[in-house]
Structure 1
Amino acid sequence: MLELMNVNKAYAEGRKVLTGLSYTLEAGEYVAIMGESGVGKSTLLNLIAGLDTPDSGEIRINGVAISSLDDDAATRLRREQFGFIFQAFHVLPHLTVSQNIALPLLLNGAPTERVTQMLADVGLHDRGHHFPRQLSGGELQRVAIARALVHRPKLVLADEPTGNLDPDTAHEILQLMRTEIKANGATGILVTHSHAAAATADRVLDLTKDGLHPAKPGERV
């Protein structure tokens, strides 16, 4: 499903953040990535999402190199098959909660009946008609999560998705993410500093300057 092939990326000032990174994730795999601040976890997600480009190397989705796609094809791939949960909510302020969650379905020409179920799943069943300005940070995070999952994407990318949630809600959301990923045979990548969040994934990887490695209990950051 997802192949990272000798991916290299440096920041604008020249500092290398990812060097020779290679890894393969199959459909149905759900992994958590941990690592020190600044090691490149969010950068890696942006590269996989096609929101940034590697300096060299290749990222393939189902055998297709993202870099080989023109703008229209890359946009279509993200719209149809990707679900993004990033630290910045990117909830549109002029749309209601329900309209925000429905966006992926509308863009893909799909029915919107699933919005009601997703509202209930993230504990916002009575907030669908409200606007983002009327919601707390934790509620906005739940809107972003529901929007990312509503169209049953094949690749879920989550960057600290529970950072604004209380522990009980975070646990419920993480279980929902896992259930959706498994039910849809998707590939899931969770970037987190939380050991409790990482424990919900199939396995945990540490991102270091030497690449991605299976985390050992005594070595997790």
Structure 2
Amino acid sequence: MLELRRVSKAYAEGRQVLSDLTYTLKAGEYVAIMGESGVGKSTLLNIVAGLDTPDSGEVLIDGIAISQLDDAAATLLRRTALGFIFQAFHILPHLTLRQNIALPLLLNNMSVDRVEQMLTEVGLNGREDHFPHQLSGGELQRVAIARALVHCPRLVLADEPTGNLDPETAHDILQLIRTEIKNNNASGILVTHSHIAAATADAVLTMTRHGLQKTEPAKRQ
């Protein structure tokens, strides 16, 4: 599903964050990536999603090298294959919750039937006509999660998806993410500082400046 071939990236000031990173994630695999702040975890997700470009190396999704695609083709690949849960939510303020969650379905010419299901799954049923300014940070995070999963993407990228949630809600959301990935035979990468969150994945990888190391199979709660 996802292949990283010798991916390297340095920040503008010259600090190297990714160096010759090579890794393969197969369909159905769900991994958590942990590591110190600033080591490049979020940068890696942005590169995988095609939102940032590596200085060298290659990212392949379903055998397709992202760097070989023009802007239109890269956008289409992201829209159909990826579900990205951003730390910053990126909820559109002028759309209702229902409209925000339905957006990936509409862009992919899919039925919007799953919107109500996802609202229920993230505990926001009855709030579908509310606007983002009427929601708390934790509620906005749940909207972002529902939007990322609603079109059953083949690759789910989650960047600290439970940072604004209470422990009980976080548990439910993490189980939802795992269930959606497994039911759709998708692949998933969870970036987190939480060992509890990481334990919902199949394996835990530690990112250092030397690459990704599989430290342990996850011990699910």
Query: TM-score, normalized by length of structure 1?
Result: 0.97
**Following the alignment from structure 1 to structure 2, what is the Cα–Cα distance between the partners of residues 62 and 115?**
27
Matched residue SS, 2:120: helix
State the secondary structure of the residue aligned to 2:93. Answer: coil
Report SS of the residue matched to 1:67.
helix
**Alpha-carbon distance, 1:215 to partner:** 1.6
Q: Return 5+ residue gaps in structure 1 as ranges.
A: none
The alignment partner of 1:89 has SS state of coil
Give the Cα–Cα distance (whole angstroms) in 2 for the partners of residues 209 and 17 of structure 1. Answer: 6
In the other structure, the counterpart of 2:194 is: 194
Q: Could you say which residue in structure 1 is the equivalent of 2:116?
A: 116
Q: Are 1:159 and 2:152 counterparts?
A: no
CA offsets 1:5-44 (integer angstroms, 9 cap, x no match): 0000000000110001000000000000000000000000
The runs of 5 or more residues in structure 2 that have no matched partner are none
* Equivalent residues of 2:33, 2:192 under 8 A apart: yes
Aligned to 1:31: 31
Partner of 1:176: 176
Q: Secondary structure at the match of 1:46?
A: helix
Corresponding position of 1:106: 106
Partner residue, 2:14: 14
Sequence identity percentage: 75
Task: Give the letter for the 1:215 counterpart.
Answer: T
The separation in 1 between residues aligned to 2:81 and 2:48, in whole angstroms, is: 12
Give the deviation of 1:168 after TM superposition.
Answer: 0.1
Residue of structure 2 equivalent to 1:45:
45
CA deviation string 1:120-178 (max 9, x = no partner): 00000011010000000000000000000000000000000000000000000000000
State the shift of 1:216 in Å: 4.8
Paired position in structure 1 for 2:74: 74
Counterpart amino acid of 1:186?
A: A
* Cα distance in 2 for residues equivalent to 1:108 and 1:130: 24
Letter in 1 for 2:25: L
Aligned residues: 217
Once residues 6 and 84 of structure 2 are traced to their aligned partners in structure 1, the CA distance between those partners, rounded to angstroms, is: 24
Q: Residue 84 of structure 1 aligns to a residue in which SS? A: strand
Q: What's the C-alpha RMSD, in Å, of the aligned pairs?
A: 0.8
In the alignment, the residues of structure 2 paired with residue 164 and residue 170 of structure 1 have an alpha-carbon distance, to the nearest angstrom, of 9
